[in-house]
Chain A
Amino acid sequence: QVQLQESGPGLVKPSETLSLTCTVSGGSISSYYWSWIRQPPGKGLEWIGYIYYSGSTNYNPSLKSRVTISVDTSKNQFSLKLSSVTAADTAVYYCARETYHCTNGVCYTLGFDPWGQGTLVTVSS
């Protein structure tokens, strides 16, 4: 079955750029939407943004000015860059897949499934 694995630095300095990669194994990155979601310690989930395998993106308006999500289909990977980080960006970062289903001209997502195990990124000097 499809598995997702986040990777990247666990410590980032304030004002720098956070960079993470999600590697998809056991299946193709094509024909799906791929999201980044984060969870500050002890708090709830926040959707950051998604990318379609073709490269089209959609971001959370609250983070849009600082977020870039890209995809590398040749490596079956997609990536997150979050610029000008502060301590408020300290969180566990998850990647997740969404499948879209269309029937009778109506399309909807089947939800975030599966998820990666998550990686903790701490912003500190």
Chain B
Amino acid sequence: SYELTQPPSVSVSPGQTARITCSGDALPKQYAYWYQQKPGQAPVLVIYKDSERPSGIPERFSGSSSGTTVTLTISGVQAEDEADYYCQSADSSGTYPRVFGGGTKLTVL
């Protein structure tokens, strides 16, 4: 199977910058996507194609890619950003065309 690895948790104070990483062997060849999920709600797409931001997503959300790691950066974190964040991508062979990371709980202190 193909796995995307995320840290279980990240904590930051309001106004600081949060960085959530996602690692996978195929990430140099496959785009990554990021989703925000608040309790009791469906996930919401916040980044697509590694670094593109959908309309309606605040500019403080950004994405980047370097080798086998992609990073979701939230600048000037607000209390409302506290949520679970999931990366999503695919393996390079096509066997696993859609795979989610295990998720990262972002806590705003």
Asked if chains A and B come from one complex, the reply is yes
* Chain A interface residues (CB < 8 Å from chain B): 35, 37, 44-47, 50, 58, 60-62, 94, 108-113, 115-118
Q: Interface residues of B toward A: which range? A: 20 to 34
> Are B54 and A113 interface neighbours, CB within 8 A?
yes
Does B45 have its Cβ within 8 Å of any Cβ on chain A?
Answer: yes
> Are B95 and A61 interface neighbours, CB within 8 A?
yes
> Are A45 and B103 interface neighbours, CB within 8 A?
yes
Max chain B C-beta neighbours (<10 A), residue from A61, A111, A115: A111
Question: Beta-carbon contacts of B10-50 to A below 8 Å, as 1s and 0s?
Answer: 00000000000000000000010101000000111100110
| Contact with A47, one of B31, B42, B44, B100 (Cβ below 8 angstroms) | B100
> Are B42 and A115 interface neighbours, CB within 8 A?
yes
Alpha-carbon separation in the docked complex, A25 to B44 (Å): 18
25 contacts between A and B (CB under 8 A): A35-B98, A37-B100, A45-B103, A47-B88, A47-B98, A47-B99, A47-B100, A60-B96, A61-B1, A62-B1, A109-B31, A109-B48, A110-B48, A110-B54, A111-B33, A111-B35, A111-B48, A111-B54, A111-B88, A112-B33, A112-B43, A113-B48, A113-B54, A115-B42, A117-B42
Alpha-carbon separation in the docked complex, A33 to B99 (Å): 16
> Are B103 and A111 interface neighbours, CB within 8 A?
no
> Are B45 and A94 interface neighbours, CB within 8 A?
no
Max chain B C-beta neighbours (<10 A), residue from A46, A60, A112: A112
> Are A45 and B95 interface neighbours, CB within 8 A?
no
> Are B99 and A44 interface neighbours, CB within 8 A?
no
Chain A residues lying within 8 Å of B44, measured Cβ to Cβ, are 113, 115
